Amino acid sequence: MLRYSVSPEVQMDTRHRLYLLQQHLFSTGFASVHGERPSAEYAKLRKESLESEFGHTVGTHSSTSVSAVYRFGPFLALYRAAIISFHVLKLTIWQFFFRDIKERAVKFREMLIRLGPFYVKLGQALSTRADILPPVYCQELAKLQDQIPPFPTRIAKKSIEMELGIPISEIFADISPEPIAAASLGQVYKARLHSGELVAVKVQRPGMSLMLTLDALLFHMIGGQIKRFAKARKDLLVAVNEMVRHMFDEIDYVLEARNAERFASLYGGWPGDGHTSNHNAKGVNTIKNKNAKGIKVPKIYWNLTRKTVLTMEWVDGIKLTDEAALKKAYLNRRELIDPGVYCSLRQMLEVGFFHADPHPGNLLATSCGSLAYFDFGMMGDIPRHYRVGLIQVLVHFVNHDSLGLANDYLSLGFIPEGADMQSVADALQTSFGDGTRQSKDFQGIMNQLYDVMYDFNFSLPPDYALVVRALASLEGTAKALDPDFKVIESAYPFVIGRLLADPSPDMRKILRELLIRNNGSIRWNRLERLVAAISEQASEDPPESEENDSPLSGWKSFDMHAVVDATEDLLLFILSEKGLMVRVFLLRDIIRAADIFLHDEVFGCRLEAESKARRTSEFEDGAIMSRVVNGFGLLTRAVKSAPEIWTAMLMRIVLKPQTLGFSVDIISAVCNHVSNKFPESFWVCMSRLIHELSKTHAPDTRMR
């Protein structure tokens, strides 16, 4: 039977107690009451796996290209190389004539368009990589989205007939004479089947596989010159290799169709799909929203889909940037953000399979309020380790825990092995500043970290490069609907819900880090806000309706069963051997509260010096007794919302022998402290009272 007793420690004077605490702060290296050191081993293995995958992909397509070169003549590669070399030569000359960085960024974008789809996709990928290019270049390259001239429709029709093996008149009753959308790798036509169904037909640009392979291989010849002209701050070739791996996936429309169906099975069609009900059982809910009906994914017509032709359901919708059309359809721009944000957060933080490019061109609002997703060529699939790491990075960033953040970067492979972690942590702490100018939007946060990333040779792993792209696209899309939208601020409630709902050890550890510092002290302000949020939800009594069955009925709220389970795990941790320092700090805070109560409530006075000292403590910030009373009131309200499960949990905790031992420690420590302080406080307050009375009656004495 385990027995804890720390009464002798709390009976010491303040200096001795602080000395005891300092012995457990572990100021060197990374250690905390939460335990566990991060490791870069997983990140290293992941990188090797991705490099092998990239080599296999390029090797396969290179073999195809070599066959094509032999078939069409060796001059094909030489011709392409000559075109690229000509434009690179112009870049070299422009360096001497265009000194203004904005003009150079415009010329760089124009050159990428002339060089074709490979370089357009390169520009699109680099438009979110301010760790590689200056911000001016990123802003200019963002204009490449959906601004690609189409290829002739007659060529597109021939491609459809060749791929499907049927005359186009036998496939479609009619097809639009011009493409309704053109992108760097293909273009889309609106058509009607003989059955009367409207479909969207995506046709790939001819010769894309050969052209991409040649450009990928030839880029390595001229990458250095482009890097110098664009003033790239990191190895541009690494980013290009990463992009090529995804680009070859994008030109495989059969793979894109599979991605669309997988995406639909995971995230589409609320309410009523099985995955959603499992999700709700875990307690991750969504915002109450009358207009939002969920996520729409077009149906795939497999009999009319091949590697370079994709036929899918036609979806009528409104562009998210068309404010007038949204108003005409009575759609609230702000409310349209909720399903997209919720879906994106589920993709990246819960499931792992995510749409890597949710920009406004790939999203439409339907008349019933659903959000339709398109273009499933660029998808990411991050393992659980990286998803948990992303949540941990967010929590450490919110906590301003620079050392924890540095070790997150190490374990995720951002930082090379052998880096001085303390130096990285110091640089991150400097980037935080005093918190008054702390950015809450994603791009602002990344800008704060870019200098640190450059100085310490950070490198975004392929998985996270896509995550950064997706988050940047998500925030950009949401800002088109609501200029004040901040993705990190919006993600925080979802993250809290995930931490409360997921009982796995790593998520429980992150939840403890959110509420308990590494040295064991409790973040009372954060705990108070969390209890207030849970209590606020508990006080609401939403009417029963079919709308509330949707996952979008409150994703910024919490499942009470999950809250109770998380609370029990937290209390068990505090009572365990690892929670020794938490109990020491908790005793300290209880004694401080008792001391304040003794001075303020019993005797109604407080020494000025003590008052000033206490105001420096987070725990003492504000009227302490009112905060304590308010906190108990909020907790009581939460308990009343589900009294059976709360009572059962509290009974289990109370019956633990560790609880009895800690309760005895609290009572003995408080009694000992009060017995020592009572006489002193009594006579000090009496002295102050006599002094005040003498000052009050002093003028009457002089009058006499």
Angle between helices 560-575 and 505-515 (to 10 degrees): 80
DSSP per-residue codes, 420-487: -HHHHHHHHHHHHTTSTT---SHHHHHHHHHHHHHHTT----HHHHHHHHHHHHHHHHHHHH-TT--H
Please, which pLDDT band fits residue 12 given cuts at 50, 70 and 90? very low
Q: Could you confirm whether 541 is annotated as catalytic?
A: no
Condensed to tens digits (0 to 9), the pLDDT of residues 194-211 reads 999 999 999 999 888 888
Most confident of the ranges 90-94, 135-139, 198-202, 481-485? 198-202
> Quick count: other Cβ atoms within 10 Å of Cβ 322?
16
What is the torsion angle, in degrees rounded to the nearest 10, for the CA atoms of residue 121, residue 122, residue 127 and residue 130?
160
Mean pLDDT calculated for residue range 391-406: 84
Q: How far apart are CA 556 and CA 342, in angstroms?
A: 10
Q: Which amino acid is at 560?
A: M
Q: How far apart are CA 302 and CA 296, in angstroms?
A: 18
Question: How high is the pLDDT of residue 259?
Answer: 96
Measured between alpha carbons, how far apart are the two ends of the chain, in Å?
A: 75
Condensed to tens digits (0 to 9), the pLDDT of residues 488-522 reads 777 878 888 888 888 888 899 889 988 888 888 88
Distances (CA, A) of 111 to 101, 210, 703: 15, 21, 95
CA nearest neighbour of 92 among 226, 223, 248, 239? 226
Question: How high is the pLDDT of residue 155?
Answer: 95
Burial of 86 (0-12, 13-18, 19+ CB in 10 A): exposed
Burial of 265 (0-12, 13-18, 19+ CB in 10 A): middle
Domains of the chain: 45-146+210-245 (no CATH), 149-206+252-270+293-314 (3.30.200), 319-515 (no CATH), 516-538+554-603+618-685 (no CATH)
CA nearest neighbour of 94 among 227, 229, 236? 229
Most confident of the ranges 184-193, 278-287, 694-703? 184-193
Task: Collect contacts of 607-612 with beta carbons under 8 A, ≥24 apart.
Answer: 607/684
Confirm if 251 and 208 have CB atoms less than 8 A apart.
yes
Condensed to tens digits (0 to 9), the pLDDT of residues 147-171 reads 567 899 999 999 999 999 999 999 9
Using a cut of 0.85, tell me whether the model's pTM lies above it: no
418: left (phi over 0), alpha (psi -120 to 50) or beta: left
Please, which pLDDT band fits residue 609 given cuts at 50, 70 and 90? very low
Mean pLDDT calculated for residue range 383-392: 86
Residues 6+ apart with CB under 8 A from 177: 153
**Among residues 131, 215, 357, 565, which one is catalytic?**
357
